[in-house]
Structure 1
Amino acid sequence: MTVPLLLLVNQFIFMLGFYMVVPFLAVFMREDLALQSAAIGLVLGMRTFAQQGLFLVGGAFADKLGPRKLILLGCATRIVGFGILAFSFDFTTVLIGACLTGFAGALFSPAISSLAAKVGDDKEGRARFFAKLAVWGELGAVAGPFAGALLLGIGFKAMALGGAGVFAVAYLILHIRLPREVQAPRRAEDGPWWHVFRDRLFVLFTFAHSGFLLSYNQLYFALPVEITRSGGSETEMAPLFMLASLMIVTLQLPVTRIAQRLPWGFSLSAGFLLMALAFGTVAAFASHAPMGGLLKLAPATLMVILLIFGQMIVKPIAMDIVARMAGTRPTGVYYGALASAGGLTVLLGNVLIGPLLDGALKPGSAAPLPWLILAVVPAICALAIIPIAQAVTKRAGA
């Protein structure tokens, strides 16, 4: 099995194991452990922070120790985390298990991105390979909840042990098949890991990319608000997420091919503008009473479609640009810094926009405000990304 194929299969397995367990974690805490909403929110928030917030740490270690070691260590850590969750009996144990599962992602995700940046050859291209990773990962994300549901009757313990088993299989495959020497050793002239913050162009790009992550995160944070305004229920979110998965699986590669034929700055700007249009569309309906029948979900559906199209354009190209920015330096810390900055932006952005979204739960004059603010973020990024992408292309000599 070649390294590119190994990474694609690994992405599917990782997402399968993750989504077998994590979507059911909140239900387990509420029904089996009888935890309050505040405690559940803290556990889920700490899990996210342990992963997204510590990506920079994982990226720095991936550059120092090599991606292979970090991927295997991340696998082992997630096995332990799922094992603790399987036998959790109170808030403390479930918090420890959840944080370990998150930290595992912080260890292996930047390392996987670093390897993916290396194996994307001239024929396939980095952007196209990252697009393939997205497709294989989405297939795992779709299959995971179904696999977890099969174990639902047995209980959460079975789910968690099943997820640990999936990652154990991944560990064995990677330990045997992942080459030991897949990246050149770190050189003294590469400088310390914090050199990424001295790269002003990368910092500017990170700000713009963080706006993309904040916008994409609204599928989980702001979309339920629009569904509530339209008179829908939580059960109607499932078809919208299925639509998003279907779009990624069927359209990601064609969209990436088209985006690659255009100048990078134009493609990235177009992706950001689609995201701005997604929020602008909801803003146009927010002050009005919901439409009848299935049309009541039209604004939410358009939001999902436009956000996913924007995401499919921006993400693979952005990951390619990061590797071009790194040049001959190790890329792990670059991908780690990009993800950590995005995680912090999502956290702060959601805290700030949250109170305003409360006013969008019902139609009214104040309902469009949070959507318009959300639209401004990717619109600004669309303008900022053009000179940034031009500078990146000039630096890389592309």
Structure 2
Amino acid sequence: MEPTGQQRGVSAVVIHYFMANFGYFGLLSSLVVMLTAKGLQASQVALLMALFTFANKVAKIPLAPWLDGSPAPRSVLTGCVIAAVGLATLGQVQQLPLMALALMLAGVGISINNLASKQLGAAVSDSMQSRARLFSVINVAVNVASAVAAPLALYLVDRKQYGWVAAGIAATYVLAGVLTWLRLHRVAAVMQKAGSSNWRTYRNLLQRPGLRAFLLINAFGWFLYGQLFNTLALYVSSALDSASKLGWLYSLNAVLIVTLQLPLTHIAERWQGGRPMRQVTLAFTVFMLAFIAAWAVPGYPGAVVFVVLFTLAEMLFIPSVDVLLLGLIGQESRAVAYSILSISTAVGESLGGGFGVTTWRWMSNHNHMSEFWLLVAGMALVFVGVTGYLQRSSAGLRAIPQGA
């Protein structure tokens, strides 16, 4: 793209991520309350949430080959409109089967938009000297959206404005899709198709040198990340008896990302020489220090130090994931590749969260709750060692160009 096209692409992608995630986090924070307000039983709410989650997480697997054959701006528009139709329908119906269909439709639309947004960001980053900077700005936009949308949606829900919440989220998705398509549908660099993909593409990508090692490393990172919203919540609410202060910790996490992500990315690029694998190894090391701090610093101040260090590690890790993936696959089958990555992420985060909650409860029952943080720190150290070994032994990871 020409410089003006690149600037238009960057701003369009960042604005789209903000708007789409504004709708998504507004939905996540209020959906259970809205469903309960319709007079549903707890088991029915749980069923609807499971159907929405299933559609949101799984739909991308069969749809990814189709998305590779469609220009990303068109796919973004399609996904956003489908999500909006599902959410608008949800706000109008009262029957359980219709609510289930509406939520599954919304989940499919959100899934399409998520993959297409990744394709869009990848296409824009192709012409940039530093992919990490774009993905860092996107990370900031996502966290700003989360910090604003959830309180606003809950404010309206608290005043029983359920219809306005559903309609507002639907309108946000429509606006996000339409604006992005209008701004980018004539930009040649983002309208290119990845070519024909099918189920064999999954197998072919998994055989690409370095990809399986990268997926394992990615799962390691999300395993550690899974401790933030699971084990930390248990630790602060149970061991520290400070449940009312838990929200401040998550707010601190968001504020640090918004204010420090870009400066940290700039510093890390200069220090690491544009080598994303080094940045991932550093992230795992900082994760380890965060867990040690939770053990070493007593009480709520220890939780604060933990969140500060943990957030630094998160800011190092998350942009590097996209940079590494695109360095491994180039411009080939990006929707399918991101679909595979999402599976690795889901496995790592779910295993991490499940391990953290289960192990912490068991250790706390045996009066060893503080030692849990040393256990996870030891696991992070192991991940550092395994990551270094995989980097040295994988030709694909070694071949990733500097700056990717």
Smaller-chain TM-score range? 0.7 to 0.9
Deviates more, 1:22-31 or 1:6-15: 22-31
Q: 1:333 to 1:141 in 2, by over 3 A?
A: same
TM-score w.r.t. length of structure 2: 0.85
Deviates more, 1:133-142 or 1:66-75: 66-75
CA offset digits 1:310-329 (Å, max 9, x no partner):
11001112211110100242
How much has 1:229 moved relative to structure 2?
2.9
Q: 1:93 to 1:300 in 2, by over 3 A?
A: farther
Pairing 1:276–2:258 present: no
Residue of structure 2 in register with 1:65 after alignment: 70
How many matched pairs? 387
Distance of 1:104 and 1:150 partners within structure 2: 26
Tell me the amino acid that sits aligned with residue 73 of structure 2.
R
Identify which of 307, 310, 315 aligns with 1:312: 315
Distance of 2:197 and 2:339 partners within structure 1: 20
Once the two structures are superposed, the pairs formed by residues 2-81 of structure 1 within 5 Å of their partners are 2-36=8-42, 39-81=44-86
Residue of structure 1 in register with 2:221 after alignment: 212
Pairing 1:237–2:240 present: no
Deviates more, 1:169-178 or 1:89-98: 89-98
Pairing 1:184–2:192 present: yes
Q: 1:173 to 1:136 in 2, by over 3 A?
A: same
Say if 1:226 and 1:360, in contact at 8 Å, map to a contact too.
no
Residue of structure 2 in register with 1:336 after alignment: 339
List gaps (5 residues or longer) in structure 2. 1-6
CA offset digits 1:362-394 (Å, max 9, x no partner):
7x5332465444334433332233354564464
Distance of 1:185 and 1:41 partners within structure 2: 39
Residue of structure 1 in register with 2:122 after alignment: 117
Tell me the amino acid that sits aligned with residue 16 of structure 1.
F
Distance of 2:197 and 2:180 partners within structure 1: 31
Q: 1:361 to 1:69 in 2, by over 3 A?
A: farther
Deviates more, 1:169-178 or 1:39-48: 39-48
Residue of structure 1 in register with 2:3 after alignment: none
Residue of structure 2 in register with 1:250 after alignment: 259
Distance of 1:189 and 1:231 partners within structure 2: 51
Q: 1:70 to 1:189 in 2, by over 3 A?
A: closer
Distance of 1:50 and 1:127 partners within structure 2: 30
CA offset digits 1:247-283 (Å, max 9, x no partner):
1110000111122220433221110122223233334
How much has 1:219 moved relative to structure 2?
1.9
Tell me the amino acid that sits aligned with residue 112 of structure 1.
S
Residue of structure 1 in register with 2:4 after alignment: none
Identical residues among aligned pairs (%): 19
How much has 1:136 moved relative to structure 2?
1.5
Say if 2:51 and 2:104, in contact at 8 Å, map to a contact too.
yes
Q: 1:21 to 1:106 in 2, by over 3 A?
A: closer
Q: 1:224 to 1:95 in 2, by over 3 A?
A: farther
Pairing 1:100–2:105 present: yes
Provide the aligned C-alpha RMSD in A: 2.9
**Structure 1 runs of 4+ off > 6 angstroms?**
188-191
Tell me the amino acid that sits aligned with residue 319 of structure 1.
D
Pairing 1:367–2:383 present: no
Residue of structure 2 in register with 1:266 after alignment: 278
CA offset digits 1:22-74 (Å, max 9, x no partner):
201222334543532x5544544443343334444444332122322321221
SS at match of 1:68: helix
Distance of 1:188 and 1:74 partners within structure 2: 20
Residue of structure 2 in register with 1:288 after alignment: none
How much has 1:155 moved relative to structure 2?
2.2
How much has 1:139 moved relative to structure 2?
1.5
Tell me the amino acid that sits aligned with residue 378 of structure 1.
A
CA offset digits 1:287-323 (Å, max 9, x no partner):
xxxx6xxxx3223222322221111001112211110
Q: 1:396 to 1:215 in 2, by over 3 A?
A: closer
Deviates more, 1:231-240 or 1:210-219: 231-240
Say if 1:213 and 1:346, in contact at 8 Å, map to a contact too.
yes
Say if 1:228 and 1:361, in contact at 8 Å, map to a contact too.
no
Pairing 1:301–2:304 present: yes
SS at match of 2:249: helix
Tell me the amino acid that sits aligned with residue 196 of structure 1.
L
Identify which of 348, 353, 367 aligns with 1:350: 353
How much has 1:117 moved relative to structure 2?
1.9
How much has 1:123 moved relative to structure 2?
5.0
Q: 1:307 to 1:149 in 2, by over 3 A?
A: same
Q: 1:198 to 1:229 in 2, by over 3 A?
A: same
Say if 2:14 and 2:141, in contact at 8 Å, map to a contact too.
yes
Say if 2:227 and 2:352, in contact at 8 Å, map to a contact too.
no
Say if 1:196 and 1:202, in contact at 8 Å, map to a contact too.
yes
CA offset digits 1:126-150 (Å, max 9, x no partner):
1110001111121111221243245
TM-score w.r.t. length of structure 1: 0.86
Residue of structure 1 in register with 2:169 after alignment: 163
Distance of 1:258 and 1:384 partners within structure 2: 25
Identify which of 183, 197, 207 aligns with 1:198: 207
Say if 1:33 and 1:90, in contact at 8 Å, map to a contact too.
no
List gaps (5 residues or longer) in structure 1. 286-290
Distance of 1:233 and 1:99 partners within structure 2: 37
Say if 1:13 and 1:167, in contact at 8 Å, map to a contact too.
yes
